[in-house]
């Protein structure tokens, strides 16, 4: 495809016209719906991802497609899904799982054993690799201990905006190669062979609930979490959206609870009143 000169209308394959105005309308819509910022540099990506969708829907022009997504909320959801990034993998940023294992795990297990419900949230979970990595780390390398823990008072919420990735998370079947970064004892204990793929073992799956949730919208829960992973989500947000999100995450964390964010993210300056930094991209909520 020729590179987009988005200052003037661009004619793509089949004579489809993609103009600067089309790009601006789509990028505003994605921002309003999801908080994700699409800079002009992403115009080629927007064009190529949506051109396929136009073909599938038998829509001739981008302006027709824009009218469609303005009216049809399911198609709008589809467009948002196509234009957000779902890249993820097991044990991504493994120092977070090491930190959890070395500094939080024992205390949370002790508290669960004494009757407290311990809650985890993978906010922007994509297809589930993050939440399952965390659950593996909680259950640990000793199978019998892990099986007992799996009966305990632990609950994992995994939420995302995109239906298709949530379905993958619920199905919990992944290519073997995807599980290669998982430490072998955890992989052996908490997955089962399913031919070319591995399935997450039932005791782990039962701990996790996948839910569609827009981080910009209402959060339909009134309980607080002990640990939140919100990694590689804010990176696509602008400063005001980030600030509001971090305020809300702080409000739904337990005092002394932990927030893990992505390696290239940082918390807005004002959030220092809620959090102290305890490791690289790891934050502890200050005691009340």
Ligand X SMILES: C[S@@+](CC[C@H](N)C(=O)[O-])C[C@H]1O[C@@H](n2cnc3c(N)ncnc32)[C@H](O)[C@@H]1O
Question: Mask: binding to ligand X, 253-272, rule CB under 6 A, as x and -?
Answer: ---------x----------
Q: Tell me whether residue 72 is one of the annotated catalytic residues.
A: no
Smallest separation, CB 237 to ligand X (Å): 8
Contact window for ligand X (CB under 6 A) among 50-58, 135-143, 166-174, 214-222:
214-222
Task: Please report whether residue 169 would count as binding ligand X according to CB under 6 A.
Answer: no
Task: Rule CB under 6 A: say whether 137 interacts with ligand X.
Answer: no
Each residue 3-42 as x (binds ligand X by CB under 6 A) or -, in order, gives: -------------------------------xxx------
Does 191 bind ligand X (CB under 6 A)? Our answer is no
- Which range of residues in 84-92, 134-142, 145-153, 187-195 is near ligand X by CB under 6 A? 84-92
Rounded Cα distance, 229 and 168, in Å: 19
85 touching ligand X, by CB under 6 A = yes
Q: Which stretch binds ligand X (CB under 6 A): 82-90, 100-108, 198-206, 276-284?
A: 82-90
Question: Is residue 49 flagged as an active site residue?
Answer: yes
Site string for ligand X, 95-134 (x = CB under 6 A): -----------------------------xxx---x----
- Shortest approach of ligand X to residue 145 CB, angstroms? 27
- Give yes or no for residue 249 binding ligand X (CB under 6 A): no
**Please, what is the minimum distance in Å from the beta carbon of residue 254 to ligand X?**
21
Strand order in the sheet with 191-194: 173-175, 197-200, 191-194
By the rule CB under 6 A, 215 interacts with ligand X: yes
Nearer Cβ to ligand X (231/274): 231
Considering CB under 6 A, how many residues would be counted as binding ligand X? 24
Helix axes 62-71, 20-34, angle to 10 degrees: 20
For the chain, the residue count is: 288
Q: Least CB distance from residue 109 to ligand X, whole Å?
A: 24
Smallest Cα–Cα separation from 187: which of 126, 140, 121, 130? 140
Under the binding rule (CB under 6 A), the answer on residue 218 touching ligand X is no
Among residues 22, 119, 160, 231, the one annotated as catalytic is 160
C-beta of residue 284 within 8 angstroms of C-beta of residue 273? no
Binding residues vs ligand X (CB under 6 A): 34-36, 84-88, 92, 124-126, 130, 160-162, 165, 214-216, 231-233, 262
Catalytic residues: 49, 160
């Amino acid at each position: 495809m020729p590179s987009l000169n988005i200052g003037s209308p661009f004619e793509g394959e089949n004579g489809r016209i993609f103009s600067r105005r089309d790009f601006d309308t789509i990028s505003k819509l994605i921002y309003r719906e999801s908080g994700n910022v699409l800079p002009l540099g992403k115009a080629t990506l927007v064009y190529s991802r949506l051109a396929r969708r136009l073909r599938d829907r038998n829509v001739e022009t981008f302006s027709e497609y824009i009218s469609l997504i303005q009216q049809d909320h399911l198609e709008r959801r589809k467009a948002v899904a196509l234009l957000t990034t779902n890249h993820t993998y097991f044990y991504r940023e493994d120092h977070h799982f090491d930190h959890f294992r070395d500094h939080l795990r024992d205390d949370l297990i002790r508290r669960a054993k004494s009757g407290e419900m311990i809650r985890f949230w993978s906010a922007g979970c994509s297809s589930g690799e993050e939440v399952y990595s965390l659950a593996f780390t909680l259950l640990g390398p000793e199978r019998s201990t892990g099986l007992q823990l799996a009966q305990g008072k632990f609950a994992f919420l995994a939420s995302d905006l995109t239906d298709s990735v949530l379905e993958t998370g619920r199905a919990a079947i992944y290519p073997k190669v995807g599980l290669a970064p998982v430490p072998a004892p955890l992989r052996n204990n908490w997955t089962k062979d399913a031919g070319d793929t591995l399935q997450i073992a039932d005791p782990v799956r039962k701990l996790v609930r996948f839910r569609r949730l827009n981080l910009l919208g209402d959060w339909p829960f009134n309980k607080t979490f002990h640990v939140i992973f919100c990694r590689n989500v804010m990176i696509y947000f602008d400063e005001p959206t980030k600030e509001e999100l971090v305020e809300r995450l702080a409000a739904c964390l337990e005092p002394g609870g932990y927030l893990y964010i992505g390696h290239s993210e940082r918390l807005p300056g004002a959030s220092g009143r809620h959090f102290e930094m305890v490791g690289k991209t790891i934050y502890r909520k200050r005691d009340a």
